Amino acid sequence: MARDITELPDLAVEGGRVAPVRARMPIYLDRLPPCNNACPAGENIQEWLRLVKAGEEEAAWRELTKANPFPAIHGRVCYHPCEAACNREELDGAVSIHSVERYLGDLALEKGWQFEKPRFSSGRKVLVIGAGPSGLSAACQLARMGHAVEIRDSSPVPGGMMRYGIPEYRLPRNVLDAEINRLVQLGVRITTDYTVKDLLAEQAEGGFEAVFVAIGAHLSKRIDIPNRDASKIVDAVTFLRDVASGERPMIGRKVAVYGGGNTAMDAARVARRLGAEESIIVYRRTEAQMPAHAEEKEGALAEGVKMNWLRTISSVDESDLTVEIMEIDEAGKARGTGRFEKLEADTVILALGQETDSNFLRRIPGMRFDHDVVQVNPRTLMTDVPGIFAGGDAVPSDRTVTIGVGHGKRAARQIDAWLVGRESAERPKHDLASFDKLNLWYFGDARRNTQPELEADDRVTDFDEIVGGLNDEHAHTEAARCLSCGNCFECDGCLGSCPEDAVIKLGKGDRYRYDYNKCTGCATCYEQCPVGAIDMIEEA
């Protein structure tokens, strides 16, 4: 006996013909690129790379600087976690995001591009304490929102640790000055050589409705080392600050730097440029446990800095120092062996970490601390004192320029919301565009562009910048290596692969849509989409 075809569970009648019942359907969506997700400053990296690829450099710079006002600085000093997250690393090397960022930053300085001034004034005043990366970032964002912003900083020149902690061979001072000056042109007022002692009095006298504390970590941690000549021991922060201020201290022929972080590497490399024939890192743990970034360590080694692992300084004498040989126990901790060595050293530089000078905040009732840093709400960055926010090195976090800039941006948004009594909600993040979501048949081989560098022998003769920038051609080819992870870039793959003509092209910049009356849910479009911007969902 014949059965009515409408009774079959997996078939349907459409226009007089038998068609399969669609169990799932494709949808277009945007996913979160891994580079964007990893950027502490919150840049929309994928979008500004797209604009560079399209030849729209100024638009790319303006997109980038919505989140980060200092691309020429960051393109030089950021440790680019975005590149560690880049999906292209699985193919032929991560996109050199930092070098394209530097290209845009340098191009903006060359062309004289400035930030657009706000169209209105809010009539509200905000005080920022500290002219380092976090304070400058917050000031820029607040000024763009129409608020009157004043920065007060205890140093003679603004820049914080970007100026007084990062050597010129990594960050030329003319670049730093030019990007800071852009904030002055925007209307930010910067007062230097000004130490704030009573924050509540400063706030009241100036009529500031909110405060952002971004004081940085300018104090070196100290340890007691038995010594016969205290004059030969200096701390790394003071040493680097003095050199950055134009001084050239006498350090002798042999220098020992005690510590294993980025500051220790900078101190050792600066010592070489001041004439030290031998610059030695003394570190109590193994090379693998060293907190310095790999590129910092590699740069130091290339310049002749020696590494003395598993050693700790036990005493300092007039012409040498005594180090104890360490070993790693089962718990992974360094412990002494009772065996000692002698090292010659004219100067010992201590690079054992840094602290913030937060004593002036301890007078404020209700302010909480964790050792030297201020406790804040992790989402809003507001302290327990209403209207006082803090960020950068002044709060619990990793201490990098990019994290500081990200804190400044976040604090500015929260301050703006607080000033008008509005709750600032966090935007939900899209699903991450991980490597397994991509179909990379579309992309050919394109090796990463490299930046020119000074030869190692030429570096230690002066403080000239080591790494050069990309030219126009290389910057554009590097931007073009971006895979556009998770976001449609209109390759027409779905359009060409659909056997039912169910994909409709909407025109440049508007992408596509589906005609679900034609779509059978075959998933051909989904299976070929190079960037993972299509998903298959259950039929409603």
**Residue 229 has what pLDDT?**
67
**Residue 429 has what pLDDT?**
84
Alpha carbon distance 243, 234 (integer Å)? 13
**Residue 274 has what pLDDT?**
95
Which domains does the chain show, CATH number per domain? 5-30+488-538 (3.30.70.20), 34-113+438-479 (1.10.1060.10), 125-218+356-419 (3.50.50.60), 222-353 (3.50.50.60)
**Residue 37 has what pLDDT?**
97
At residue 211, the 3 state secondary structure works out as strand
Please answer whether residues 354 and 263 qualify as being in contact, where contact means their C-beta atoms are separated by less than 8 angstroms.
Answer: yes
* CA angle in degrees (0–180, nearest 5) for 98-271-73: 20
**DSSP secondary structure letters along 43-79:** --HHHHHHHHHTT-HHHHHHHHTTT-S-HHHHHHH--
How many Cβ atoms sit within 10 Å of the Cβ of residue 435?
16
pLDDT in tens, the chain (540 residues): 333 333 333 445 555 554 556 789 999 999 999 999 999 999 999 999 999 999 999 999 999 999 999 999 999 999 999 999 999 999 999 999 999 999 999 999 999 999 999 999 999 999 999 999 999 999 999 999 999 999 999 999 999 999 999 999 999 999 999 999 999 999 999 999 999 999 999 999 999 999 999 998 877 787 878 776 677 899 999 999 999 999 999 999 999 999 999 999 999 999 999 999 999 999 999 999 999 999 999 999 999 999 999 999 999 888 789 999 999 998 889 999 999 999 999 999 999 988 888 888 998 999 999 888 899 999 999 999 999 999 998 888 888 999 999 999 999 999 999 998 888 777 788 899 999 999 888 888 888 999 999 998 889 989 999 999 999 999 999 999 999 999 999 999 999 999 999 999 999 989 999 999 999 999 999 999 999 999 999 986
Please answer whether residues 214 and 128 qualify as being in contact, where contact means their C-beta atoms are separated by less than 8 angstroms.
Answer: yes
In which residue are the tokens 């990019």 written?
A: 402
Across the strands, what pairs with 374?
Answer: 369
**Residue 3 has what pLDDT?**
32
**Residue 6 has what pLDDT?**
37
The pair of three-digit structure tokens given for residue 13, joined into one six-digit string: 């009648």
Please answer whether residues 376 and 370 qualify as being in contact, where contact means their C-beta atoms are separated by less than 8 angstroms.
Answer: no
